[in-house]
Amino acid sequence: MQMPDGLPAEIDLSRPSAARVYDYFLGGAHNFEIDRQLAEQIASMTPNLAATMRAGREFLRRAVRTLLDAGIDQFLDVGSGIPTVGNVHEVAQAANPKARVVYVDIDPVAVAHSRELLAGDELTGVIHADLREPERILAGARDLGLLDFNRPLGILLAGVVHFIPDADRPGDVLATLRAAAAPGSHLVISHSTFEDQPQEMLDAQRLSARTDTEITLRSRAEVTSFFGDWTLLEPGVVHMPLWRPDSPSDVDEHPERFGAFGGVARYDQPTA
């Protein structure tokens, strides 16, 4: 297969990529025909899926703004995908021009495009790594020299933990990331769920098995456990549109239809 200009030759374009399918649903330009075919098949089963993807991005933006209000000025965005309009560094630097962001993704296409799009931005960096290797992520972030782990950090895991199967012990992975953070740090998670979902949504989620990153649907209790002993911010772990909406009109009658929970927690100073 002919490789598009500028992409590494080792990228496998014979299989769809979750990051590129996500980019397509968000209206991005960094996807290929094989990704669009799977996206359209999924969309035919769940017509509101593009809206679901946008709801996830809107939750992330609201969470980032909340962290900025709390004084966070550095972010580790794991599972960042391909930067599109309104990504983390744009939201953060609009409020704080000195905010620093390190993007991490497993997809080489996402990483290649991220590096191209962010070239020349000295306050952002990109790491090619797997969330299942948190020590490698932490080491890579330290090597970039953009993040100070002795200061409060925003750890962003938006729509990525559900790609880790139970066999790979996601709870331990997140515990490693939390252990590296200083008091005052915040953790943001959004995660797909089977709770309150119609059968067609569950069927569409199972199509993820055709990509390199199959989705594991989890309960509210399981998602909540990923925050460990950090203090959950109000309103807790809820369906994404219910997490601090900008206005009541932003929440429709069925916020559960987006099929994912979202939550934010803070690492409070341990007591002696």
pLDDT digits (tens, 9 = 90+) for 143-153: 999 999 999 99
Q: Which residues of 133-144 are buried (b: 16+ CB within 10 A; e: fewer)?
A: ebeebbebbeee
Six-digit token string for 211: 């990509």
Mean pLDDT (whole number) for 161-188: 97
Please report the pLDDT score of residue 87 as a whole number.
Answer: 87
Please report the pLDDT score of residue 48 as a whole number.
Answer: 67
pLDDT band at 200 (very low <50, low <70, confident <90, very high): low
Q: Is the pLDDT of residue 1 over 70?
A: no
Please report the pLDDT score of residue 269 as a whole number.
Answer: 83
Please report the pLDDT score of residue 118 as a whole number.
Answer: 83
pLDDT digits (tens, 9 = 90+) for 90-123: 999 999 999 999 999 988 878 877 887 788 889 9
Q: Is the pLDDT of residue 191 over 90?
A: yes
Mean pLDDT (whole number) for 47-76: 90
Six-digit token string for 105: 């993704």
Nearest to 131 by CA among 84, 68, 218, 189: 189
Residue 181 vs residue 198, higher pLDDT? 181
Structural domains of the chain ordered from first start: 18-267 (3.40.50.150)
Residue 249 vs residue 97, higher pLDDT? 97
Residues 6+ apart with CB under 8 A from 211: 15, 16, 17, 18, 21, 38
β-strands 100-105, 74-78: how paired? parallel
Please report the pLDDT score of residue 177 as a whole number.
Answer: 98
pLDDT digits (tens, 9 = 90+) for 204-246: 666 655 555 678 999 999 999 999 999 999 999 999 999 999 9
Give pTM, 2 decimals: 0.85
Percent of the residues in the chain that have a pLDDT greater than 70, as a whole number = 86
Which of 43-47, 71-75, 118-122 has the highest mean predicted lDDT (pLDDT)?
71-75
Q: Is the pLDDT of residue 2 over 50?
A: no
Cβ–Cβ contacts within 10 Å for residue 270, how many? 7
Q: Is the pLDDT of residue 251 over 50?
A: yes
